C-alpha cells in the first residue's frame, strides 16, 4: 500500500484526491491546503486522511510514500523539491515547472534519490490517444505527416499564466508522445485582449527534424468548447474529438498520392482518394484514474513513469521556446 499526500485541494486537486482515495493500491494519508474552507471540505469528505495547512506535516510523515503536487504552477518547483529531498516519490501537475533549468534540477534530484518523478501529462494516458499511437506504430495511417490541435473555450481566464502555458502543455506532450520526438523549433503568435501581457489566444507551429510538424491553437476567448486532435497520414487521417461522449475517434480512409504520368515525364499527377469512415470502439477508462493508477504501479513495481521528469523537461523547453517566439512576434525559436 502506497501512502499518498495531496498538496493543493483546488479544482483539479480535488479530482486527484478523489482518484487516489479510491485506488486499491493507494492510501490517502494527508491533504494539504492553506485555504481553511478547502481543508474543512476535505476533512468532511475524507475523514481518514489528515487535513492540514502545513506541507511539512506530510513531508515528515513516515507513512507518506508519495506526494502529489497540485498547487499553482509557480509553486511546483518549491514543493516538489522539498518532497524529493524528504525522500518522497513525487507526482506534479503540468507543467512540471516554469523553467527548464528547474525541471532538469528536479529530474536529476529524483534520480539521485532513487525516487519516481512523474508529470501530469493527462492525455498520454487517454485511451483515445493511445489508440492513435497504436495506429501509427502498426503503420495503419501510413507515414505520419502532421498534427493539429484545437483547445479552445470561453474561460477559465487565468491571471498568473497565459493561454500558452495554461493549455498548450497537453498538446505539446501529445505531439511529442505520438511522434516520439522533440520539436527543433517553435513559432508562435498571439494576443492579450483581456489582460495586459497575458495572451488569451495563441497559434503555434512546432517543427520536427524530419519535416513533420504540429499546429496548436489554444484560447480561453472563443465561442466554442473544442478539444480536438487531427492526425494526417500518407494513407489515412484520424480525428480525436474529446467532446464526443462515445465516438471519440474517427478514421478517414482519405489521402493523396503523387504519381508521375510516365517514366520519361517529370510531370506529376496528384490522385485524391476518399474511402470509408471507421468509428472504432475505444477501451473504457477515465484518463485521470489511469494516470494515478500508473503512478502507484510505477512505485510498486519500480518502473519508469511514462510521463517522467525527462518528458516534463521536454515540454517546458517547448513552452519556453514558444514564449520567446511570442515575444518576438512569431520569429521561430529553437527548442
21 & 57 share domain: yes
12 & 79 share domain: yes
100 & 41 share domain: yes
143 & 273 share domain: yes
Closest CA to 31 of 18, 292, 268, 89: 18
Residue 312 lies in a domain: no
Structural domain span for residue 270: 124-287+317-334
170 & 213 share domain: yes
For 229-295, the DSSP string reads EEEEESS-EEEEETT-SS--EEEEEEEEEEEESSSS---EEEEEEEEEEE-PPPPP--HHHHHHHHH
Residue 302 lies in a domain: no
User: 222: which 3 cell numbers?
Assistant: 472563443
179 & 256 share domain: yes
Q: How high is the pLDDT of residue 7?
A: 99
Q: How high is the pLDDT of residue 267?
A: 58
Residue 147 lies in a domain: yes
- Residue 266: which residues within 8 A CB-CB, separation 6 or more? 260
182 & 94 share domain: no
45 & 110 share domain: yes
Residue 257 lies in a domain: yes
CATH number at residue 83: 3.40.50.720
Angle CA 11–315–34, to nearest 5 = 30
CATH number at residue 278: 3.30.360.10
* Strand stretches in the chain, DSSP E: 2-7, 26-32, 50-52, 66-69, 89-93, 117-120, 144-154, 185-191, 201-207, 213-219, 221-233, 237-241, 249-260, 268-278, 333-334
End-of-domain residue from the set 96, 115, 134:
115
pLDDT tens per residue, the chain (335 residues)? 999 999 999 999 999 999 999 999 999 999 999 999 999 999 999 999 999 999 999 999 999 999 999 999 999 999 999 999 999 999 999 999 999 999 999 999 999 999 999 999 999 999 999 999 999 999 999 999 999 999 999 999 999 899 999 999 999 999 999 999 999 999 999 999 999 999 999 999 999 999 999 999 999 999 999 999 999 999 999 999 999 999 999 999 988 877 765 556 555 678 787 889 999 999 989 999 999 999 999 999 999 999 999 999 999 999 999 999 999 999 999 99
251 & 131 share domain: yes
75 & 219 share domain: no
203 & 278 share domain: yes
111 & 138 share domain: no
Write down the pTM of the prediction. 0.94
Q: How many CB atoms lie within 10 A of CB 109?
A: 17
Q: How high is the pLDDT of residue 271?
A: 79
Q: Is the dihedral angle over the CA atoms 311, 188, 155, 232 positive or is it negative? A: negative
Sheet with 66-69: strands ordered across: 50-52, 26-32, 2-7, 66-69, 89-93, 117-120
Residue 299 lies in a domain: no
Q: How high is the pLDDT of residue 30?
A: 98
Query: What radius of gyration, in Å, describes the C-alpha atoms of the chain?
Result: 22
Q: How high is the pLDDT of residue 284?
A: 87
Report the domain count for the chain.
2
Closest CA to 295 of 109, 15, 23: 23
**C-beta separation of 95 from 315 below 8 A:** yes
Residue 298 lies in a domain: no
Measured between alpha carbons, how far is residue 157 from residues 12, 115, 153, 161, 322 in Å? 15, 35, 10, 9, 20
For 3-19, the DSSP string reads EEEEE--SHHHHHHHHH
Closest CA to 93 of 181, 204, 15: 15
Q: Is the dihedral angle over the CA atoms 114, 115, 116, 119 positive or is it negative? A: negative
End-of-domain residue from the set 94, 115, 136:
115
End-of-domain residue from the set 58, 87, 115:
115
Amino acid at each position: 500500500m502506497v501512502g499518498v499526500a495531496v498538496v493543493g485541494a483546488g479544482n483539479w486537486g480535488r479530482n486527484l484526491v478523489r482518484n487516489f482515495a479510491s485506488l486499491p493500491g493507494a492510501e490517502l494519508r494527508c491533504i494539504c491546503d492553506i485555504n481553511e474552507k478547502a481543508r474543512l471540505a476535505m476533512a468532511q469528505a475524507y475523514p481518514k486522511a489528515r487535513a492540514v495547512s502545513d506541507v511539512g506535516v506530510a513531508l515528515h510523515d513516515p507513512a507518506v510514500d508519495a506526494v502529489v503536487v497540485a498547487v499553482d504552477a509557480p509553486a511546483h518547483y518549491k514543493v516538489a523539491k522539498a518532497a524529493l529531498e524528504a525522500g518522497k516519490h513525487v507526482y506534479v501537475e503540468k507543467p512540471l515547472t516554469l523553467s527548464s533549468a528547474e525541471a532538469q534540477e528536479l529530474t536529476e534530484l529524483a534520480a539521485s534519490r532513487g525516487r519516481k518523478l512523474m508529470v501530469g501529462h493527462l492525455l498520454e494516458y487517454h485511451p483515445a490517444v493511445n489508440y492513435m499511437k497504436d495506429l501509427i506504430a502498426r503503420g495503419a495511417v501510413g507515414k505520419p505527416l502532421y498534427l493539429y490541435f484545437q483547445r479552445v473555450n470561453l474561460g477559465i481566464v487565468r491571471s498568473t499564466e497565459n493561454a500558452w502555458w495554461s493549455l498548450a502543455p497537453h498538446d505539446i506532450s501529445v505531439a511529442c508522445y505520438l511522434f516520439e520526438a522533440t520539436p527543433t523549433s517553435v513559432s508562435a503568435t498571439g494576443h492579450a485582449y483581456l489582460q495586459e501581457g497575458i495572451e488569451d489566444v495563441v497559434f503555434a507551429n512546432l517543427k520536427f527534424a524530419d519535416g513533420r510538424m504540429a499546429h496548436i491553437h489554444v484560447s480561453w476567448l472563443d465561442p466554442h468548447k473544442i478539444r480536438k486532435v487531427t492526425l494526417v497520414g500518407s494513407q489515412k487521417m484520424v480525428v480525436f474529438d474529446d467532446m464526443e461522449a462515445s465516438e471519440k475517434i474517427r478514421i478517414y480512409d482519405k489521402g493523396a498520392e503523387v504519381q508521375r504520368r510516365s517514366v520519361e515525364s517529370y510531370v506529376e499527377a496528384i490522385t485524391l482518394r476518399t474511402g470509408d469512415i471507421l468509428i472504432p470502439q475505444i477501451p473504457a477508462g477515465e484518463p485521470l484514474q489511469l494516470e494515478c493508477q500508473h503512478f502507484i504501479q510505477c512505485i510498486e513495481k519500480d518502473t519508469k513513469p511514462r510521463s517522467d521528469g525527462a518528458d516534463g523537461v521536454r515540454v517546458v523547453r517547448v513552452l519556453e521556446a514558444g514564449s520567446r517566439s511570442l515575444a518576438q512576434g512569431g520569429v521561430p525559436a529553437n527548442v
